[in-house]
C-alpha cells in the first residue's frame, strides 16, 4: 500500500511539474506573439509595409482573414450567395460563442482573440494528458511544449477556432481512453461544430471501443456507440440548420467551391499538375507545400516512437483529404489539429541538444509567421 501511495504521489508531482512548465511556455509564447503584433501595428503602417485595414486596431492583425468572416456571422448570421465566397463555409460554434459574448457587450474582435488564447492552455494540457495515455510521459510533456511554440501556432492566437478544436480532439481522445463515453460524445460533438476535422478523431476512438467491447457492460457499449455517432450527428445538425435557414442543406459545400475547395477523386493529380503554376502566381503557397512534406516526416517519426496506428491514420486524413481539392492552401494550418504531429516532433528532439535546436527554430519561425500575417493568409 505504501509503495502504491508513493507511486501515486510521484505521478501527481510529475503531472503538476509538467502542467507548470507547459503553462509557462504557453504564456511566454503568447506574450511573444502579442509583442510582435503590437510592434507590427505600431510600425507597419508608418513604414508602408502592410495593408492599412489590418492596422486600424491593435487586434486587427489577429482578427484578419477568416476572423473577419467569423465576426460577420456573429453579427449578421449566415448568408449564402451562389458562386461567391460565402460564410456558410465556416462552422457555427465559434461565431455562436462570439455572438453570446457580443450580447454581453464584448467587442467581437476582443472576444475572438480571448477565446482562442484561453482555449489554448486547455488544449495543451489536454494534449499532454492524451500523450500520457499513448506514449512515454517525457515525450508527452515535450510535445505539448513544442505545440505551444509550433511555427504555424500563431493561428492559435488568432480569431480562429483551432485552439477550441485541438482541445476538443485531445479531450475526446483522453475521455475515450479512460472510458468516459458521455464526455467523449460531448467533445466530439462540440469539436465538429467548430471544424469538420474533429470527425476523424472517431477513427482511433472507434478502435478503442472495439478493443474494449468485451470489458464493457451492455450500457457502456451503447454509450460508446452513441459517442461515436456524436460527430456525424453534429455535422448533420449543421446541414439541417442550413437547409432550414438558407433553404440549401449543402450550402457549406457549395460555398467551399468558391474558394476552390471542390473535392475530386483525381484531386492529387490536379494538385501535382497545377502546383508549379500556382507557386508562380502565389509564392507563399510554398509554405503550405513544405508543411505537407514536413508533416509527412513528423508522422513517420510519430510511428517510430510507438504512436498507435489509428491516431496516425486520423492525422493522415486531416492532412491528406484537403489535398483532394487540388490545392495546398492552408495545409500548414490544417496540420495543427493532428496530435501525432507534435508527438513526432517530440520524438525527433530526443537529446537535450536537439531539443534546444528544435525549440529555437520553432520560436524563430513562429516570429516570422506572426510578422507576415498581414501579407499572407495563414
Average pLDDT, the chain: 91
Q: Is the predicted pLDDT of residue 371 greater than 80, yes or no?
A: yes
- Condensed to tens digits (0 to 9), the pLDDT of residues 3-62 reads 556 767 778 899 999 999 999 999 999 999 999 998 888 776 554 555 555 566 678 889
Full DSSP string of 181-226: HHHHHHHHHHHHHH-GGGGGGHHHHHHHHHHTGGGS-HHHHHHHHH
Full DSSP string of 35-93: HHHHHHHHHHHHHT-S-GGGSSSTTTTTT-THHHHHHHHHHH-----TTS--GGGS-SH
pLDDT computed for residue 21 by the predictor = 97
The larger pLDDT score, comparing residue 75 to residue 84, is at: 75
Which grid coordinates are listed for 139? 515525450
- Condensed to tens digits (0 to 9), the pLDDT of residues 142-197 reads 999 999 999 999 999 999 999 999 999 999 999 999 999 999 999 999 999 999 99
Which grid coordinates are listed for 175? 475521455
pLDDT computed for residue 261 by the predictor = 72
- Percent residues over pLDDT 70 in the chain: 95
pLDDT computed for residue 4 by the predictor = 58
Collapsed DSSP state (helix, strand, coil) of residue 133: helix
Q: How confident is the model at residue 204 (pLDDT cuts 50, 70, 90)?
A: very high
Query: What is the residue whose three cell numbers read 502566381?
Result: 281
pLDDT computed for residue 259 by the predictor = 73
pLDDT computed for residue 55 by the predictor = 60
pLDDT computed for residue 279 by the predictor = 81
- Condensed to tens digits (0 to 9), the pLDDT of residues 80-131 reads 988 888 899 999 999 999 999 999 999 999 999 999 999 999 999 999 999 9
pLDDT computed for residue 112 by the predictor = 96
Residue ranges covered by each domain of the chain: 12-371
How far is it, in rounded angstroms, from Cα 371 to Cα 50? Answer: 10
Phi-psi bin for 105: left (phi > 0), alpha (psi -120 to 50), beta? left
Query: What is the residue whose three cell numbers read 499572407?
Result: 376
Which grid coordinates are listed for 140? 508527452
Which grid coordinates are listed for 353? 541538444
Amino acid at each position: 500500500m505504501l509503495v502504491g501511495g508513493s507511486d501515486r504521489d510521484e505521478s501527481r508531482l510529475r503531472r503538476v511539474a509538467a502542467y507548470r512548465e507547459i503553462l509557462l511556455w504557453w504564456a511566454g509564447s503568447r506574450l511573444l506573439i502579442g509583442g510582435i503584433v503590437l510592434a507590427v501595428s505600431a510600425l507597419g503602417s508608418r513604414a508602408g509595409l502592410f495593408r492599412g485595414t489590418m492596422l486600424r486596431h491593435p487586434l486587427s492583425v489577429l482578427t484578419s482573414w477568416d476572423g473577419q468572416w467569423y465576426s460577420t456571422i456573429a453579427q449578421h448570421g449566415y448568408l449564402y450567395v451562389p458562386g461567391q465566397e460565402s460564410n456558410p463555409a465556416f462552422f457555427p460554434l465559434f461565431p455562436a460563442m462570439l455572438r453570446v459574448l457580443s450580447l454581453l457587450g464584448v467587442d467581437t474582435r476582443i472576444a475572438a482573440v480571448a477565446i482562442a488564447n484561453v482555449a489554448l492552455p486547455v488544449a495543451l494540457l489536454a494534449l499532454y494528458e492524451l500523450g500520457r495515455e499513448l506514449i512515454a510521459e517525457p515525450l508527452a510533456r515535450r510535445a505539448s511544449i513544442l505545440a505551444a511554440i509550433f511555427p504555424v501556432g500563431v493561428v492559435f492566437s488568432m480569431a480562429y477556432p483551432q485552439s477550441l478544436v485541438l482541445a476538443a480532439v485531445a479531450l475526446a481522445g483522453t475521455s475515450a481512453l479512460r472510458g468516459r463515453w458521455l464526455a467523449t460524445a460531448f467533445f466530439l460533438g462540440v469539436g465538429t461544430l467548430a471544424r469538420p476535422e474533429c470527425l476523424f478523431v472517431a477513427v482511433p476512438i472507434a478502435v478503442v471501443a472495439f478493443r474494449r467491447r468485451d470489458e464493457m457492460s451492455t450500457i457502456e457499449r451503447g454509450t460508446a456507440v452513441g459517442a461515436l455517432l456524436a460527430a456525424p450527428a453534429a455535422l448533420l445538425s449543421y446541414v439541417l440548420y442550413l437547409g432550414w435557414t438558407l433553404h440549401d442543406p449543402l450550402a457549406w459545400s457549395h460555398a467551399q467551391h468558391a474558394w476552390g475547395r471542390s473535392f475530386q477523386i483525381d484531386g492529387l493529380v490536379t494538385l501535382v499538375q497545377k502546383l508549379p503554376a500556382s507557386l508562380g502566381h502565389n509564392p507563399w503557397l510554398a509554405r503550405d507545400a513544405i508543411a505537407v512534406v514536413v508533416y509527412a516526416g513528423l508522422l513517420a517519426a510519430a510511428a517510430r516512437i510507438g504512436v498507435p496506428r489509428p491516431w496516425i491514420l486520423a492525422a493522415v486524413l486531416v492532412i491528406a483529404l484537403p489535398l483532394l481539392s487540388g490545392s495546398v492552401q492552408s495545409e500548414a494550418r490544417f496540420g495543427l489539429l493532428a496530435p501525432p504531429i507534435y508527438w513526432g516532433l517530440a520524438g525527433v528532439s530526443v537529446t537535450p541538444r536537439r531539443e534546444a535546436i528544435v525549440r529555437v527554430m520553432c520560436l524563430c519561425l513562429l516570429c516570422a509567421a506572426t510578422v507576415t500575417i498581414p501579407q499572407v493568409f495563414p
